[in-house]
Amino acid sequence: MHMHIESAFDIKSCLDTISHWLPTQGPIRDFIHHNTLHAYQDRPFHEGVRTASRMYGSHSYLSLSEFLKLYRQGQISESSLAAAARGKASIDELKHGSWIPRPAGIFENGLRARWTTKHSINMDNRVHPTLFRIASNYLDQGVASWRMPHSSETLYDALRKIVEESFLPLPPFSHPEARRLLRKTPENAIAEILKRFLGSEKHFERYLTETCLAHAGWSGMIRVIEDDPSRLVMRRSPNLVDFIALELIAEYVVAYKTLGAGFAPIATPDEPKLSIPADEPLPPQSDTERLQEIWQEAMERSYVEPLLERLARHKPLSPTGTPFAQAFFCIDDRACSVRRHLEAVLPNVETFATAGFFGVDCNFQGISDSYAYKHCPVPVSPTRLIREIAVRPASAPNKTSWKERSLHLESASNTFLRGWLITQTLGFWSAVKLAVSLFRPSLEPATASSLRRLDTESKLQIDYTFDEMADRIENVLKSTGAAKSGLSDLVVLIGHGASSVNNPYFAAYDCGACSGKPGSPNARAFAVMANNPTVRRLLGERGLRIRENTWFVGGIHDTTRDELQYYDLDLLPEGLRKSFESFKAGLEQALEKNAQERCQMFEMVPKDIDTKRALAEVRRRSVAIFEPRPEFNHATNACAIVGRRALTRGLDLKRRAFLNSYDPSTDPEGSILSSILSAVVPVCGGISLEYYFSRVDVDRYGAGSKLPHNVNGLIGVTNGVEGDLLTGLPTQMIEVHTPVRLNLIVEHEADVALAAAKKNASIFEWIENYWIRYFSISPSTKKIREFRDGKMVEWQ
């Protein structure tokens, strides 16, 4: 191809810079929580959100009227408000602040808007539907039954080839002008068109930024896959340059056809350059934003103040007697209440929590999976594979049985002749199926069920060396402090996952530490490895002795159904059977209470529901196709506590806390703490901020209501058939959330806590810029300190 450089302006690096401001959410099958405004994290929180609001045209906080409502309900206390407002505003002003609409995003009042004002062309309406359809068809992972020809090539080349080969037009790309431009490289096509639109290179960056942000969802997705093509199973090689080049070609054809070849540019070389808010020094704060900032601080204070007081006052509680069993859970806020109920039912059980992949970083391939899925935190790149192996060879791998198929969901019914046959036959059956799933919901082929992730009859094939196994066991037992307190005879590891149906966001309900997958393979693998005599011998050599009569059992808790499943019970030593049965019964009882507690959050369920009914209710929700709220996931999350269970055992934290077990006495230097923080901060902070932003602006940062969503190419959801890809969380997941930043409380002396946080610059950024709030509680004196202006200062 002709590679003549027509312009000095570097399109590629300009788009690289712009992609910094795009959402980084990947394909929906592994929905992973992250800070929506990660790109702004190098600025202090309030400044970052304010800048972002001018880029995307979004709200940064709740509205003043919502704050006032919380205030009237008592969720924002008088004293916190007074403390937050001190020296900044009067209470009267806070209560009667004026309301301003959301600021305009840069694509709403910049260069692109001139197509409408100057030429009466609604460019977005004319170009977006075609562009989105092309992107979606190209990236499609299995919805359409015709794959786009040449989809193994780049988007630009694929499209050019279709246009060149086709005997029929592909508007707007078969226009002679478009054909001419398509023969250039995408960079050159962009440069030529921008030159024609804008007259001068100084407007290029602004126009390109507006173009990308006007459909942030698609631009972001293209960029994410460009950076890591392994995010798609059927590989594609999209890139942002191609995508924007196609968009500009389409725009050019629209302008050319509507206005004629000699249309006037929308900008002139003489006029001053329009700036990009994110490149500017801090934008001035509006009056409303000033008041919102105070309200936000007051709301957060109203939550954390009583919490810290309770923690400081709480008398350390230990299990009664020697624990007959120990249970390891995920740090997930949904495990917080399960542990509380379990400890209440079985006071002689000790519980721990650690990131729910239990240190087992792996790719996992189940019996019926056609490829392996990553089962560990996002930043970790696993090198090892764990496979599930069928015990009875009769069940052939990689073949989905007819029982698990549903013709309603396959495209066969959407074709010509088979469609005709199916509608005439299976069609009637649909009404029956619909009636049954309405009145007697049950597990269906399309239900995402965490309990089905692993078969209880199968075996695991673990690809680690014994040394690697020992590393993983040692790491978890030491970091949680379990090694020090000594292991009981029975140790149970409970991973977690969720069940839901008719829910494209299913992955967001599973374990975040397993990249949005159920944690059962990890828990089970951990138990298998810890029970291995060779591994135990290696651990013994390292000074971590596991008694011979200690046995590990792996299991999973389905957080939607409050249901349990355990693995490899056939190997359980006879002598432990009794204590296992009583543990199991105790945990089941705890889950009933947990279901009852969860039901309090569901508006349509009576508040006085008993435990049995509550359990039935949550199970019904998990399989009901008409239930948009199978559970509330991480909604209401507000704090993370890294410390001994004694600090919190017996406290009702209302399912709002991420808990990570850690014994400061085993870690005077804070090196274990530092490695815990490097997992807890991005995982919990990411969850917290994703909920925060989706809650404060569900239309811009979130995905809006889930009810009209349309699945697009199995990679995302849109509204209607021609909308932008939606990022963030839908209304139904965040509506009960109170948007407070995460309060991370670490049990250690303040100087160690600060040093541990500072060890990793990318972790410290969260704390330093207040994207999470950082506290330390001294194990000896219980004195609480708060991170402020680079120091740990006394909390007041």
Closest CB to another protein among residues 50, 128: 128
Assess 368 for contact with another protein (CB under 8 A).
yes
Assess 99 for contact with another protein (CB under 8 A).
no
- Judged by CB under 8 A, the stretch of 285-293, 623-631, 741-749, 784-792 that binds another protein is 623-631
DSSP letter assigned to residue 617 = H
Torsion of CA 88, 91, 92, 95, to 10 degrees: 100
Interface of this chain with another protein, residues 582 to 621, rule: CB under 8 A: 603-604
Give, in degrees to the nearest 5, the angle at Cα 393 between 388 and 397. Answer: 55
Assess 409 for contact with another protein (CB under 8 A).
yes
Q: Which of 504, 643, 682, 686 binds another protein (CB under 8 A)?
A: 504
Assess 306 for contact with another protein (CB under 8 A).
no
Min separation Cβ 614 and another protein, Å:
17
Q: Which of 320, 400, 600, 665 binds another protein (CB under 8 A)?
A: 400
Min separation Cβ 678 and another protein, Å:
31
Assess 101 for contact with another protein (CB under 8 A).
no
What is the C-alpha to C-alpha distance for residues 113 and 206, in angstroms, rounded to an integer?
Answer: 12
Compute the chain's Rg from CA coordinates. Answer: 28
Closest CB to another protein among residues 188, 447: 447
User: Within its chain, how far is the Cα of 1 from the centroid?
Assistant: 41
Is 196:265 a contact under the CB 8 Å cutoff?
yes
Give, in degrees to the nearest 5, the angle at Cα 578 between 325 and 575. Answer: 90
Of 308, 236, 397, 365, nearest to 777 by C-alpha is 308
Q: Which amino acid is at 56?
A: Y
Which two tokens mark 645?
Answer: 């269970």
In whole angstroms, how far apart are CA 410 and each of 418, 549, 720? Answer: 11, 51, 20
What is the C-alpha to C-alpha distance for residues 233 and 218, in angstroms, rounded to an integer?
Answer: 18
Assess 121 for contact with another protein (CB under 8 A).
no
Assess 175 for contact with another protein (CB under 8 A).
no
Interface of this chain with another protein, residues 237 to 256, rule: CB under 8 A: none
Of 342, 343, 336, nearest to 320 by C-alpha is 343
What is the C-alpha to C-alpha distance for residues 364 and 385, in angstroms, rounded to an integer?
Answer: 6
- Judged by CB under 8 A, the stretch of 40-48, 423-431, 606-614, 757-765 that binds another protein is 423-431
Assess 697 for contact with another protein (CB under 8 A).
no
Closest CB to another protein among residues 29, 206: 29
DSSP code string of 416-464: SHHHHHHHHHHHHHHHHHHHHHHHS----TT-EEGGGSS-TT-EEEE--
Closest CB to another protein among residues 400, 665: 400
Min separation Cβ 84 and another protein, Å:
30
Min separation Cβ 33 and another protein, Å:
18
What is the C-alpha to C-alpha distance for residues 159 and 169, in angstroms, rounded to an integer?
Answer: 12
Please state the three-class secondary structure of 68-130 as a single string.
Answer: HHHHHCCCCCHHHHHHHHCCCCCHHHHHCCCCCCCCCCCCCCCCCCHHHHHHCCCHHHHHHHH
Assess 564 for contact with another protein (CB under 8 A).
no
Contacts (Cβ under 8 Å, ≥6 apart) of 285: 50, 293
Q: Which of 1, 168, 394, 761 binds another protein (CB under 8 A)?
A: 168
- Judged by CB under 8 A, the stretch of 33-41, 356-364, 409-417, 759-767 that binds another protein is 409-417
Contacts (Cβ under 8 Å, ≥6 apart) of 705: 730, 731, 732
Assess 719 for contact with another protein (CB under 8 A).
yes
Closest CB to another protein among residues 223, 629: 629
Closest CB to another protein among residues 111, 624: 624
Q: Which of 718, 727, 738, 743 binds another protein (CB under 8 A)?
A: 718
Assess 435 for contact with another protein (CB under 8 A).
yes
Interface of this chain with another protein, residues 133 to 162, rule: CB under 8 A: 133-134, 136-137, 139-149, 161-162
Min separation Cβ 572 and another protein, Å:
31
Torsion of CA 199, 205, 206, 212, to 10 degrees: 120
- Judged by CB under 8 A, the stretch of 97-105, 381-389, 410-418, 464-472 that binds another protein is 410-418
- Judged by CB under 8 A, the stretch of 43-51, 501-509, 517-525, 606-614 that binds another protein is 501-509
Min separation Cβ 478 and another protein, Å:
37
Assess 406 for contact with another protein (CB under 8 A).
yes
